[in-house]
C-alpha cells in the first residue's frame, strides 16, 4: 500500500525492482514534508496543529506523521520511563498524552539519539493513531493513518466479459464490470448487483475497514466462506464501486474474457502493521 506497504517500492516484498548495478540496502527509510496542515484532537481539544509535519515511510508500516514539538500544546506530553530501540533510528522515548481528564500512556514517542542522517526527525513527536480522539487535515477528519502520498486508486469502466461460477452454478455474468487498480495490489474486478444471480450472495456478520474505500461487507457463496465482498456505501473518492461486488478467485471460478483468474501476488491483504489495527468502530464514529 503506497510507498512502503504491501508491494510498494520500499516494502519488504516489492512487486518491481530498482534498476541499479549494486543491490540496495535491505531497509530504506524515506522522510518527506507532508505539505498539508495536520491537527490532532484529544480530550475534546486540539493538542497539535502544524503545517510543518514530516512523514516517515519505513518498510512494513503505515506512514507516520511527526510534529515539531513547538506545534504541540505545552503540558500535553508527560515523560515516562519506557524506552525502546528502533532498529534504524535508535532509542525511542514513549510519552503519556494528557489533556483535562483524558490520559493515554505510551501514546506518543520521539527519538532521543538520532543518527546524523535522520536529523529531519530531531525535535519531533509522533502520536499513536488509535489512542487519539481524531486527526484532521484542515477541517476534514482523516481516518486510518496519515495520508500516504503515494497511494492511488483508479477505477475504470470496461466492457470486458466477466463470469463467476461456483461449481456448475453461474453466480455472475456481466459485460459491464469495473476494474479497480490500487497501489500495491493486483487488479480487482467489481460486478454490478443486477448482473449477479438472485440469492447467490449470503451475507455474513463481518465487516472490515479500508482507509481508502470505507466499510467492507462480506458474503458466502454456496458454502464458500467470504467468497465475495462489497463496499455498499463506498467513500465518495471511489463511488464508482459503491454497492458493486468483487469475488475471490481462489474461492470461486472467475473468468475474464474466457481466461480464468488466479489469486495473484498482491491480492491478499497483508495483516495490519505494528502501528495499529483498523477498527470498524472508527469509521462508524466518523459517519
Asked if residue 270 is part of any domain, the answer here is no
Give the pLDDT score at 211: 86
Say what the pLDDT of residue 179 is. 98
The answer to whether 84 touches 110, Cβ cutoff 8 Å, is: no
Residue 202's domain is classified under what CATH number? 2.170.150.40
Domain for residue 18, yes or no?
no
| Residue 229 confidence (pLDDT) | 97
In a domain, residue 44? The reply is yes
Q: Which domain holds residue 240?
A: 153-260
pLDDT value at position 143? 86
- Classify residue 189: in a domain, yes or no: yes
Tell me, yes or no, whether 206 and 187 share the same domain: yes
Q: Are residues 171 and 140 both part of a single domain?
A: no
**Quick check: 213 and 235 in contact, CB under 8 A?**
yes
Residues 141 and 35 in one domain: yes
223 & 117 share domain: no
CA gap 133, 48 in Å, rounded: 12
Residue 178 pLDDT: 98
pLDDT at 253: 98
* pTM of the predicted protein model: 0.88
Residues 197 and 246 in one domain: yes
- Asked whether residue 51 falls in the same domain as residue 107, the answer is yes
Contact status, residue 126 vs residue 64, Cβ threshold 8 Å: yes
**Confidence (pLDDT) at 277:** 56
Could you tell me if 35 and 64 are in contact, meaning their C-beta atoms sit under 8 angstroms apart?
no
pLDDT lower than 70: segments of the chain: 1, 266-279, 281-287
Assess if residue 97 is contained within a domain: yes
- Other Cβ atoms closer than 10 A to 235: 17
Residue that is last in its domain, among 150, 178, 194: 150
Domain presence at residue 225 = yes
- The pLDDT value recorded for residue 274 is 47
Amino acid at each position: 500500500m503506497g510507498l512502503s506497504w504491501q508491494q510498494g517500492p520500499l516494502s519488504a516484498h516489492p512487486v518491481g525492482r530498482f534498476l541499479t548495478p549494486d543491490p540496495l540496502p535491505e531497509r530504506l527509510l524515506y522522510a518527506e514534508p507532508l505539505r498539508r496542515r495536520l491537527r490532532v484532537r484529544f480530550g475534546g481539544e486540539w493538542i497539535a496543529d502544524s503545517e510543518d509535519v514530516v512523514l516517515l515511510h519505513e518498510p512494513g508500516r503505515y506512514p507516520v506523521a511527526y510534529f515539531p514539538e513547538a506545534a504541540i500544546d505545552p503540558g500535553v506530553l508527560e515523560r515516562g520511563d519506557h524506552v525502546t530501540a528502533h532498529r534504524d533510528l535508535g532509542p525511542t522515548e514513549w510519552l503519556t498524552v494528557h489533556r483535562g481528564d483524558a490520559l493515554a500512556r505510551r501514546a506518543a514517542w520521539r527519538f532521543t539519539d538520532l543518527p546524523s542522517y535522520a536529523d529531519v526527525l530531531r525535535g519531533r513527536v509522533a502520536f499513536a493513531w488509535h489512542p487519539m480522539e481524531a486527526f484532521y487535515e484542515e477541517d476534514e477528519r482523516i481516518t486510518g493513518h496519515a495520508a500516504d502520498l503515494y497511494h492511488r486508486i483508479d477505477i475504470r469502466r470496461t466492457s470486458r466479459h466477466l463470469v463467476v461460477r461456483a461449481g456448475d452454478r453461474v453466480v455472475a455474468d456481466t459485460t459491464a464490470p469495473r476494474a479497480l487498480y490500487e497501489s500495491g495490489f493486483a487488479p480487482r474486478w467489481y460486478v454490478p448487483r443486477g448482473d449477479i444471480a438472485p440469492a447467490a450472495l449470503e451475507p455474513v456478520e463481518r465487516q472490515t475497514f479500508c482507509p481508502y474505500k470505507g466499510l467492507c461487507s462480506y458474503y458466502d457463496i454456496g458454502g464458500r466462506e467470504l467468497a465475495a465482498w462489497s463496499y455498499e456505501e463506498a467513500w465518495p473518492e471511489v463511488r464508482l464501486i459503491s454497492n458493486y461486488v468483487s469475488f475471490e478467485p481462489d474461492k470461486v471460478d472467475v473468468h475474464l474474457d474466457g481466461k480464468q483468474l488466479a489469486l495473484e501476488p498482491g491480492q491478499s491483504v497483508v495483516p495490519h502493521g505494528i502501528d495499529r489495527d483498523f477498527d470498524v468502530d472508527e469509521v462508524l464514529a466518523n459517519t
